[in-house]
Structure formats: C-alpha cells, structure tokens
Amino acid sequence: MMKSISTLLTFMMITIFSSFAQVGNQSPKLPIDDNTKLISYSKVVEVPATRKIDLYNKGLEWCNKYFKNPADVIRERDSIEGNIICKARFKILNPVDKKGGATDGGVVQYNLKLMIKDGKFKYTLTEFNWKQASYYPAEKWTDKTNAYYKPEFDFYLQQLNEKAREISIDLEKSMKYVASDKKNDW
C-alpha cells in the first residue's frame, strides 16, 4: 500500500514538473513592488467583526501548523502591534532531465510578514533569495541579459510563484475562519 502511494506521488511530481519544463523559457508574471523592486506577494484581507487578538492568535496557529519548524521560522511575535514575522524556506528542483528525473535545485528563502488589525490583516511574502554562499536575490533569475542567466531560472521562478500562491491561499483560508465566541444554548 505504501509503495503504491509512493509510486503515485512520484508519478504526480514528475507529471507536474514535466508540464513546467514544457512551458519553455517563459517566466511567470510576478508581482514586483514599485518601491523595493522586489518580488512581493501582498494582500489585505477583510475578516469583518473579528478582533485583532483573535486574528493574531489564528496567524500564530497557522504558522505553527504550516511550518515544519515554527520555532526557527517565526522571528518576531508582537500581539500588541499585531505583527508576526517569519523567515522560511522551500526547496526547488531543476527541470526534468532526459531520464525523467528532477534533481535538487537548492533552497529559496523568503520573508513573510503578517500585520493584523481589528477586522483585517495584511500579509507580504518578499525577499526571496536563492541560498548560496552569498546573498542571491531571486530577481536575478528574471534578467535574461545577465551573463550568468541560465534557462532553468524560468523553472525556478515558476516554482517560486506556485509556492507563494500556495502559501497565500492556505494562509487566507486559515485566517478567514475564526471560531465564534458565541455560547451554545445547551
């Protein structure tokens, strides 16, 4: 049973990454912050009639569930100001090779900032960088005129975009559901 699940997951991953590879040298349309010029995913989400502390607690709960090592990822928690700052990372893969395998492409680090007020929160995912001996911002992957540009950078950008969207969707879904303080009539 475990082997068949493992085989299915491997097949699904190869299929997904093969579809990425078939896109060719197309970079996804990435959100670039006008001020910082960094890749930034940011959104204000309304959660009407929800107290700041409830949203803050929900944000901390999400961080503790979503990240494998939340003690290392969560860098700042301030319930008074309503801020949670995380520094996290995810793995990327190289494009599928001729044998159908995808090798390790490295690790991308990023910052996630949650700013919380009564009835709403704002999240920002930014400062994406490829973990190297020195700081290597992901924005360098977008510059096809750079002498160090490689075609696999487009594949890395696709994975970055997919991961950022996955995080955003999961965070929004979790934060929008806040348990009611209403008592049951039992």
* Cα–Cα dist 125/112, whole Å: 5
Q: What is the pLDDT of residue 93?
A: 95
Q: What is the pLDDT of residue 22?
A: 44
- Band the pLDDT of 45: cuts 50, 70, 90: very high
* Cα–Cα dist 164/79, whole Å: 25
pLDDT tens per residue, range 108-148: 999 999 999 999 999 999 999 999 988 999 999 999 999 99
- Band the pLDDT of 99: cuts 50, 70, 90: confident
Answer whether 47's CB lies under 8 Å from 35's CB.
no
**Phi, psi for 183 (deg, rounded to 5):** -90, 145
* Cα–Cα dist 116/56, whole Å: 6
| DSSP conformation letters of 59-117 | HHHHHHHHSS-HHHHEEEEETTTTEEEEEEEEEEEPPP-TTS---EEEEEEEEEEEEEE
**Phi, psi for 166 (deg, rounded to 5):** -60, -45
* Cα–Cα dist 13/9, whole Å: 6
Q: Is 14 or 117 the better-scoring residue by pLDDT?
A: 117
Residues 98-104 have a mean pLDDT of 87
Q: What's CA 5's distance to the chain center, in Å?
A: 26
pLDDT tens per residue, range 52-97: 999 999 999 999 999 999 999 999 999 999 999 999 999 999 998 8
Side-chain-side CA neighbours of residue 159 (13 Å): 29
Q: What is the pLDDT of residue 36?
A: 95
pLDDT over 80 at 10, yes or no: no
Q: What is the CATH number of domain 39-176?
A: 3.30.530.80
SS3 call for 50: coil
pLDDT over 90 at 4, yes or no: no
pLDDT over 60 at 2, yes or no: no
pTM of this prediction exceeds 0.85: no
* Cα–Cα dist 13/8, whole Å: 9
Q: Dihedral of CA 173/166/68/17: which sign?
A: positive
Residues 160-179 have a mean pLDDT of 91
| Mean pLDDT (the chain, rounded) | 86
